[in-house]
C-alpha cells in the first residue's frame, strides 16, 4: 500500500521507534480511499446556508445546490472550480494556433531550397540554370511547392535530406493524430518500421470491420494486441475499449481539421498525400476514420474551436489539445450539475486533478462528501411527491444555531426577574450561586466541596484529615420558575414583509423561539400563527418553508381569534401574546367567514381588531407588539393598541428581532437572569454546557 505523502513506513517491532537497518521508507500519494487525516465535512455551515435559502422561499434541493455552487468560508464551491476549468480552456485557445505542422514543413522546405540554390550557384552547367529557374517559379503555397518538388532531382545531399524529412514529418504527424506518441516513436524510423505500421493499420481495419459485422472474437483481439500492442500504451482489455480510445482521438483530429481555415485545410489535405511518400498510408488512415465514425457515431465529429494564439501546434499535439478541450468540456458539464439526475459523484476527479491540480480534486471530493453527508445524515427528507425538504432533525439543528445567536445578543442585556426565588419544582438552569438566607434550592455538592477544599488549602490547613464546611462554601443550583405559559406568536405574512426584506428574519425568529420552548420550556404551549389576507395556525416546518404570495391584506383580527382559541385550550397557563407586524390591519373576517379588505384601513376593520385584542386582555394575556419599519401611522396605531391591554411595544432592528422576541418571552414568564443576573447567566449552558444541545 502506498504511504501518505510525508509519512514513512512504520518501524518494525523491537526497533525502539528507530529505522531498522536496511529498511527504506517509501513516499507516495495516498491511494487507499478518502484521506484518513482530512477533517470531517462541516454540516453546520451548510445547513445554516440551506436553511436561510429555504426560509427565503426556495426549495431544499435548490438551496443545497446553491450552497454546493458557492462553497463555504473555507471551501471552494463548484462555481469556482468551473471558473478554473473555463480559464484553463481559454488559456489553451489564447496560447496556441493550429498551423504548427505547416510552419515546420515550410521551415524544412525553405531550408532545402536554400541549400539547393547554394549548390546550383557552384554548378556551371545549363541544367543548373534551368533548375534555378524552376526553384524561382515554385508556387507560393507550401503544399503546391512540396508537390512540384516531389519528382525534383536534388543536387545537394543536405537539401534532399531536408526535403525527405518533410515526408517523414507528415507521416509521423498523420499517425500521431490517431495514435498517441507515434511522432516520437517513429523518429528516425527505417523502412521496416514503416512497413510494420502499415501492417498494423491493415490488421486494425480488418478487426474493426469484423467487429462491425459482429464476426470478431476475443481471440482475434488478443492476437492483434500480441502482435501490435506496443502501439497502444492505454492497454485496452477488449475491442470496445480499443475502439473507445481510438474514436476519441480520431474525433478530436476531425474537430481540429474543422477548426482550420479553408486555406489551411486545403493545404494540409494536399500535403498529406506526401506522407512517407506513400499514398497507401493516408488511404489506410481514411479507412480507419470511417470505421471508427461508423462504430462510434455519438462522438463529437462535427465540433470546432477558435484558436487565437501564436504558439503553433503540430497535428498530433493539436489533436491532444482537442482531446484536452473535450475533457474540459465534460468537466464543465459535470460541475454545472445542470442535467437531470446530476450528482457530485459524476465528477471525474482524475481528470480534474490532471487539468487543475490535486487541490481541485480534493475540493470536489469534499463537496461530494458534503452532499452525501447531507442526504445521509437525516437533515434532508423527502415529501410524498419526492421533493427534498428539511427534516425535523434539521429544524432542531437550525433552531439551536439561531438560538445561539439570540443568546449572544442577549448576553449583554441586564434585567431583573420578577420573582427572586425560583420554584422548588423547577428544572436546574445550569447556573449556581452562593447560598443566601431563606434559599430552598438544592445544593451543588461538587461546587460546595471544591470551595471547602480550596478555602482550607488557602488558609494553610491540611486536607488529609478531612475538611470542614463553612457556610461561605455552600453554593446552590439555580432553578427556573415553573409557571406554565400558553404562548401565541403572531407573525405577519403579508407580501410587504417579503418585499421589505423582513421575511427571513421573521422565520428565523419563529424558529429560534420554537426551539427554545421545545428544549428549555417543554411545559409551555407555543402556537405559531401566520396572518396575511387570512390567518392560519402553522407548524414550524410549514412556516419555515412558506413562500411569499401576492395577496392583499393584513388580517390581525383573524389571528387574534386563533390566539384566543389557543389560550382557552390551556386555562391554567399564563397567556403570552407576541405580535410581529409591519403594517396596520387592512382585513377582517365577516360573520360568514369571508375576508373583507380595505386600504386605507376601514374603521370596521379597526373596530373588529380592537374588540378581539380587548378579549385577549380580559384573558390576562401579557402582550408585546414588535413593530417593524418606520411608518408613523403604524407606530401610532400600535402604541394605542398596546395601551389598551397594558402591553409593550418594541421596535427592533431586523437583525435584533429574534433577540427581542425571545427576550420578551423570557421576561413575560419571569425567566430573566436569576438573581438579577444577565441573560448570559440564564443561557449559561448555551455558552458552555453540552446538556442544552443534547436536547
CA 388 vs CA 54, 379, 384, 573, 678: distances in Å: 11, 10, 10, 38, 41
Tell me whether strands 428-434 and 525-531 are parallel, antiparallel or unpaired: unpaired
pLDDT at 512 over 90: no
Both 438 and 493 in a single domain? no
pTM over 0.75? The answer is: no
Residue 412 lies in a domain: no
In-domain check, residue 396: no
In a domain, 365, yes or no: yes
Same structural domain, 459 and 349: no
The answer as to whether 624 is a domain residue is yes
Last residue of a domain, one of 364, 382, 400: 382
Of the candidate ranges 11-20, 220-229, 380-389, 636-645, the one whose mean pLDDT is the lowest: 11-20
The answer to the question of residue 391 being in a domain is no
Arithmetic mean of pLDDT over the chain: 79
DSSP helix/strand/coil, 649: strand
Considering 11-25, 302-316, 379-393, the range whose residues carry the highest mean pLDDT is 302-316
Write down which residue in 479, 513, 544 finishes a domain.
479
Same domain, 67 and 113: no
How many other β-carbons are positioned within 10 Å of the β-carbon of residue 192? 7
- 8 Å CB contact between 535 and 529: yes
Same domain, 106 and 206: yes
Residues 6+ positions from 4 with CB-CB distance below 8 Å: 30, 35, 36, 37
Q: How confident is the model at residue 14 (pLDDT cuts 50, 70, 90)?
A: very low
653 shares a domain with 521 = yes
Q: Which three cell numbers stand for residue 608?
A: 373588529
Whole-number Å distance between alpha carbons of 349 and 367: 12
Residues 207 and 273 grouped into a single domain: yes
* 107 vs 103: CA distance, rounded Å: 6
Length of the chain (residues): 695
In a domain, residue 37? The reply is no
CATH number, domain with residue 608: 3.40.50.410
Is there a domain that residue 137 lies in? yes
Verify that 528 and 671 share a domain, yes or no: yes
Does 608 have pLDDT greater than 90?
yes
| Distance separating alpha carbons of residues 380 and 371, to the nearest angstrom | 10
For residue 692, what pLDDT band results from cuts at 50, 70 and 90?
very low
Range of the domain at 433: 428-479
Say whether both 72 and 111 belong to one domain: no
Q: Are residues 460 and 509 in the same domain?
A: no
* Residue 385 vs residue 622, higher pLDDT: 622
Q: Is the residue at 315 inside a domain?
A: no
For 189-202, the pLDDT digits (tens) are 788 888 888 899 99
- Other C-beta atoms lying within 10 Å of the C-beta of residue 322: 30
Residues 496 and 470 in one domain: no
Q: In terms of C-beta density within 10 A (0-12 exposed, 13-18 middle, 19 or more buried), how is residue 233 classed?
A: exposed
Has residue 401 got a pLDDT over 80? no
Residue 678 CA to residue 675 CA, distance in Å, equals 9
Last residue of a domain, one of 259, 291, 306: 306
CA pair distance 385, 54, nearest whole angstrom: 18
Higher per-residue pLDDT: 144 or 15: 144
End-to-end CA distance of the chain: 44
* Grid coordinates of 358: 490535486
CB 641 within 8 A of CB 613: yes
In the three-class reduction of DSSP (H, G, I as helix; E, B as strand; rest coil), residue 77 is classed as: coil
pLDDT for residue 567 is more than 90: yes
Would you give the DSSP letter of residue 546? P
- pLDDT score of 478 more than 60: yes
Same domain? For 302 and 333 the reply is no
How much is the average pLDDT of 305-312?
86
Cα separations (Å) of 459 from 208, 454, 467? 97, 9, 12
Whether residues 144 and 54 fall in one domain: no
Total number of domains in the chain: 4
Amino acid at each position: 500500500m502506498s504511504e501518505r505523502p510525508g509519512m514513512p513506513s512504520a518501524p518494525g517491532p523491537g526497533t525502539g521507534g528507530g529505522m531498522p537497518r536496511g529498511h527504506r521508507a517509501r513516499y507516495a500519494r495516498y491511494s487507499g480511499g478518502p484521506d484518513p487525516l482530512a477533517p470531517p465535512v462541516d454540516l453546520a455551515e451548510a445547513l445554516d446556508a440551506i436553511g436561510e435559502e429555504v426560509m427565503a422561499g426556495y426549495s431544499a434541493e435548490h438551496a443545497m445546490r446553491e450552497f454546493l455552487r458557492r462553497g463555504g468560508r473555507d471551501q471552494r464551491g463548484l462555481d469556482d472550480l468551473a471558473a478554473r476549468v473555463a480559464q484553463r480552456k481559454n488559456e489553451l485557445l489564447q496560447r496556441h494556433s493550429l498551423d504548427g505542422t505547416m510552419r515546420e514543413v515550410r521551415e524544412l522546405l525553405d531550408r532545402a531550397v536554400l541549400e539547393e540554390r547554394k549548390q546550383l550557384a557552384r554548378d556551371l552547367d545549363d541544367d543548373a540554370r534551368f533548375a534555378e529557374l524552376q526553384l524561382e517559379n515554385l508556387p507560393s503555397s507550401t503544399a503546391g511547392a512540396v508537390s512540384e518538388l516531389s519528382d525534383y532531382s536534388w543536387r545537394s545531399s543536405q537539401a534532399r535530406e531536408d526535403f525527405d524529412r518533410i515526408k517523414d514529418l507528415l507521416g509521423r504527424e498523420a499517425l500521431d493524430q490517431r495514435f498517441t506518441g507515434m511522432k516520437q516513436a517513429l523518429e528516425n524510423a527505417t523502412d521496416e518500421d514503416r512497413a510494420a505500421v502499415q501492417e498494423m493499420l491493415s490488421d486494425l481495419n480488418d478487426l474493426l470491420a469484423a467487429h462491425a459485422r459482429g464476426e470478431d472474437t476475443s481471440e482475434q483481439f488478443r492476437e492483434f494486441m500480441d502482435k501490435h500492442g506496443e502501439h497502444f500504451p492505454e492497454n485496452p482489455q477488449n475491442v470496445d475499449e480499443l475502439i473507445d480510445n481510438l474514436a476519441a482521438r480520431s474525433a478530436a483530429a476531425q474537430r481540429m481539421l474543422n477548426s482550420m481555415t479553408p486555406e489551411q485545410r486545403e493545404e494540409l489535405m494536399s500535403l498529406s498525400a506526401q506522407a512517407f511518400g506513400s499514398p497507401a498510408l493516408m488511404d489506410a488512415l481514411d479507412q480507419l476514420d470511417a470505421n471508427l465514425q461508423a462504430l462510434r457515431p455519438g462522438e463529437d465529429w462535427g465540433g470546432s474551436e477558435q484558436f487565437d494564439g501564436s504558439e503553433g501546434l503540430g497535428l498530433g499535439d493539436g489533436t491532444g489539445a482537442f482531446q484536452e478541450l473535450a475533457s474540459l468540456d465534460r468537466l464543465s458539464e459535470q460541475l454545472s450539475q445542470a442535467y437531470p439526475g446530476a450528482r457530485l459523484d459524476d465528477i471525474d476527479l482524475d481528470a480534474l486533478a490532471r487539468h487543475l491540480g490535486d487541490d481541485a480534486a480534493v475540493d470536489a471530493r469534499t463537496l461530494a462528501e458534503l452532499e452525501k453527508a447531507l442526504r445521509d445524515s437525516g437533515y434532508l427528507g423527502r415529501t410524498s411527491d419526492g421533493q427534498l425538504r428539511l427534516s425535523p432533525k434539521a429544524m432542531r439543528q437550525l433552531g439551536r444555531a439561531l438560538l445561539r445567536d439570540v443568546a449572544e445578543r442577549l448576553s449583554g442585556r441586564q434585567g431583573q426577574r420578577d420573582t427572586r426565588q425560583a420554584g422548588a419544582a423547577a428544572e436546574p438552569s445550569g447556573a449556581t450561586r452562593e447560598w443566601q438566607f431563606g434559599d430552598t434550592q438544592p445544593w451543588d455538592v461538587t461546587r460546595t466541596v471544591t470551595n471547602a477544599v480550596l478555602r482550607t488549602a488557602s488558609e494553610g490547613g491540611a486536607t488529609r484529615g478531612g475538611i470542614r464546611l463553612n457556610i461561605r462554601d455552600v453554593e446552590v443550583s439555580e432553578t427556573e420558575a415553573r409557571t406554565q405559559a400558553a404562548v401565541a406568536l403572531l407573525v405577519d405574512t403579508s407580501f410587504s414583509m417579503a418585499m421589505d426584506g423582513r421575511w427571513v428574519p421573521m422565520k428565523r425568529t419563529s424558529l429560534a423561539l420554537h426551539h427554545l420552548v421545545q428544549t428549555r420550556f417543554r411545559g409551555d404551549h407555543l402556537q405559531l400563527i401566520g396572518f396575511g389576507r387570512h390567518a392560519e395556525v402553522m407548524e414550524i416546518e410549514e412556516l419555515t418553508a412558506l413562500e411569499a404570495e401576492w395577496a392583499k391584506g393584513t388580517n390581525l383580527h383573524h389571528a387574534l381569534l386563533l390566539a384566543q382559541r389557543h389560550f382557552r385550550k390551556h386555562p391554567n397557563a399564563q397567556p403570552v401574546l407576541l405580535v410581529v407586524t409591519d403594517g396596520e390591519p387592512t382585513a377582517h373576517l365577516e360573520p360568514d367567514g369571508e375576508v373583507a379588505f380595505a386600504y386605507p384601513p376601514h374603521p370596521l376593520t379597526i373596530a373588529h381588531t380592537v374588540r378581539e385584542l380587548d378579549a385577549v386582555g380580559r384573558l390576562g394575556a401579557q402582550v408585546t407588539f414588535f413593530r417593524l419599519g418606520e411608518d408613523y401611522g403604524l407606530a401610532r396605531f400600535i402604541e394605542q393598541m398596546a395601551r389598551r391591554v397594558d402591553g409593550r411595544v418594541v421596535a427592533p432592528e431586523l437583525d435584533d428581532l429574534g433577540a427581542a422576541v425571545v427576550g420578551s418571552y423570557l421576561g413575560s414568564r419571569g425567566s430573566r437572569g436569576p438573581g438579577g443576573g444577565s441573560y448570559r447567566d440564564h443561557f449559561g449552558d448555551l455558552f458552555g454546557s453540552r446538556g442544552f444541545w443534547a436536547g
